């Protein structure tokens, strides 16, 4: 199986290199046409608010917001603070690759090597669990010693999504790290822990919030943070679940690499444009983020820990990159990442050859059911794996 995975990856790269000169360039809808389609999708899905950014040739071309941000009917604007959810993971992966460029992180060096003490010795204080995991639970399973930053960023640590979602509320490793894809916010939290509590002699012991704030400053993202800021309060979006019930915007007090991002569509468009250009990263680090790393072999992303599909039913082009999911379609290679909770629906889709992307942020989870149509309308046929990403759960809390 491993040989097939590696061969598929090499074939994907070869096909990409040959196809890039033949990539079709779809017609770009006008701004007014995008507005009309966005409003149609909102009406179709009963979504109250949504914001869109379009990027072409690595530059932000259009940003717009629609609908309302709260039950009072205040307008959603391009500067409204919206919850990023798991788009945080892509921001974190980008930040980790900056540390790779500074030789503070080696993607294949086990996380254990960055810590002063064995991982299970941390986290005895109950307050520790408000930010990190119950690492003492791993004392009987030495496989924790093999988990690397690459395993975290390719979603292959062996953890479930979060320890508190386990039936017994205990952290455990379900498969040998690095051997298969299974989505895990818990893995991201572990790498955050290693960066924040790792050996200072190796250049670690750094606050991840400070690192990401540096990224946001460099990329001109003034209204983005991994923790709540008081100045966000005057223009923040509440959210609607799939029953149309309003929930107030969460004021995250702790940095969580798995999902505490607050941002605006204007700011996140800047991040996405920089990412598709590879700005801020060395060429090798950008290539690592966006090359096929690990073949994805399941029918859907959720629920996690699904069994592999039969070989004949697996998508040959579906791979984990670092902090993103890679796919191939009529326009060549692309990458995508979503963000979702009970009231949040976000998607980022980028086609690499054209450096063309769409970002959609919504404060109404029901909008998610229209993402496939809306992305197709703006970008054309891409091959983005929405069937795998959402299955039948798109737009549901």
Q: Beta-carbon neighbour count of residue 146 at 10 Å? A: 16
pLDDT band with cut points at 50, 70 and 90 for residue 8: very low
CA distance readout (Å), 217 to 102, 212, 225, 255, 258: 18, 9, 10, 17, 21
Indicate yes or no: pTM above 0.85: yes
The confidence score (pLDDT) of residue 25 equals 84
- Show the tokens assigned to 215: 């990224």
The confidence score (pLDDT) of residue 45 equals 98
The confidence score (pLDDT) of residue 24 equals 78
The confidence score (pLDDT) of residue 99 equals 98
Q: Beta-carbon neighbour count of residue 230 at 10 Å? A: 7
As a whole number of angstroms, the distance between CA 218 and CA 235 comes to: 23
Measured at the alpha carbon of residue 316, what is the angle toward residues 313 and 321, in degrees to the nearest 5? 125
- Indicate the number of domains in the chain: 1
The DSSP call for residue 72 is: T
Give the model confidence (pLDDT) of 188-242 as tens digits: 999 999 999 999 999 999 999 999 999 999 999 999 999 999 999 999 999 999 9
The DSSP call for residue 364 is: B
Domain ranges, residue 298: 2-87+235-390
Residue 291: name the closest of 11, 2, 1 by CA: 11
**Residue 47 in domain:** yes
CATH of the domain at 359: 3.40.710.10
* pLDDT above 50: residue 186: yes
**Residue 335 in domain:** yes
* pLDDT above 90: residue 125: no
**Residue 57 in domain:** yes
**Residue 129 in domain:** no
* pLDDT above 50: residue 9: no
* pLDDT above 50: residue 6: no
As a whole number of angstroms, the distance between CA 11 and CA 38 comes to: 37
User: How high is the mean pLDDT of the chain?
Assistant: 94
**Residue 191 in domain:** no
For 20-54, the DSSP string reads GGG---PPPPPHHHHHHHHHHHHHHHT-SEEEEEE
As a whole number of angstroms, the distance between CA 291 and CA 334 comes to: 10
79 close to 53: Cβ distance less than 8 angstroms:
no
**Residue 333 in domain:** yes
Give the model confidence (pLDDT) of 129-149 as tens digits: 999 999 999 999 999 999 999
Measured at the alpha carbon of residue 41, what is the angle toward residues 25 and 333, in degrees to the nearest 5? 30
**Residue 61 in domain:** yes
Residue 124: CA count within 13 A, CB half-sphere: 4
Residue 276's SS3 state is: helix
Looking at residues 65-71, what average pLDDT do you find? 98
**Residue 103 in domain:** no
Give the model confidence (pLDDT) of 288-315 as tens digits: 999 999 999 999 999 999 999 999 999 9
146 close to 119: Cβ distance less than 8 angstroms:
no
């Amino acid at each position: 199986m491993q040989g097939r995975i590696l061969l598929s990856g090499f074939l994907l790269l070869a096909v990409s290199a040959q196809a890039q000169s033949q990539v079709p360039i779809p017609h770009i809808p006008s701004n007014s046409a995008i507005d009309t389609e966005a409003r149609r999708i909102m009406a179709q899905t009963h979504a109250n608010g949504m914001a869109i950014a379009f990027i072409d040739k690595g530059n932000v071309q259009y940003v717009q917001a629609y609908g309302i941000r709260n039950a009072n009917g205040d307008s959603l604007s391009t500067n409204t603070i919206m919850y990023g959810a798991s788009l945080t993971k892509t921001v974190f992966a980008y930040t980790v690759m900056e540390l790779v460029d500074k030789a503070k992180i080696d993607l294949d060096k086990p996380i254990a090597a960055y810590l002063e003490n064995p991982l299970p010795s941390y986290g005895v204080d109950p307050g520790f669990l408000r930010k990190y995991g119950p690492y003492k639970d791993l004392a009987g399973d030495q496989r924790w010693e093999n988990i690397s930053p690459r395993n975290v960023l390719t979603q292959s640590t062996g953890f479930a999504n979060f320890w508190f979602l386990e039936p017994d509320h205990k952290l455990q490793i379900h498969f040998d790290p690095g051997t298969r894809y299974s989505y895990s916010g818990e893995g991201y939290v572990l790498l955050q822990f290693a960066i924040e509590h790792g050996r200072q002699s190796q250049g670690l012991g750094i606050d991840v919030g400070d690192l990401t704030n540096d990224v946001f400053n460099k990329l001109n993202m003034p209204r983005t943070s991994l923790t709540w800021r008081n100045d966000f309060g005057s223009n923040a979006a509440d959210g609607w679940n799939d029953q149309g019930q309003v929930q107030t915007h969460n004021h995250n007090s702790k940095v969580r690499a798995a999902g505490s991002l607050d941002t605006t569509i204007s700011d996140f468009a800047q991040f996405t444009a920089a990412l598709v250009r590879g700005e801020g990263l060395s060429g090798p680090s950008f290539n690592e983020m966006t090359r096929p790393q690990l073949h994805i072999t399941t029918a859907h992303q959720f629920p996690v820990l699904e069994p592999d599909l039969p070989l004949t039913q697996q998508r040959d082009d579906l791979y984990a990159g670092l902090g993103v999911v890679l796919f191939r379609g009529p326009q060549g290679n692309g990458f995508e990442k979503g963000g979702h909770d009970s009231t949040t629906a976000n998607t980022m889709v980028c086609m690499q050859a054209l450096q063309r992307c769409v970002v959609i942020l919504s404060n109404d989870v029901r909008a998610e059911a229209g993402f496939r149509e809306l992305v197709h309308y703006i970008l054309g046929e891409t091959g983005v794996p929405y069937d795998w990403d959402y299955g039948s759960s798109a737009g549901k809390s």
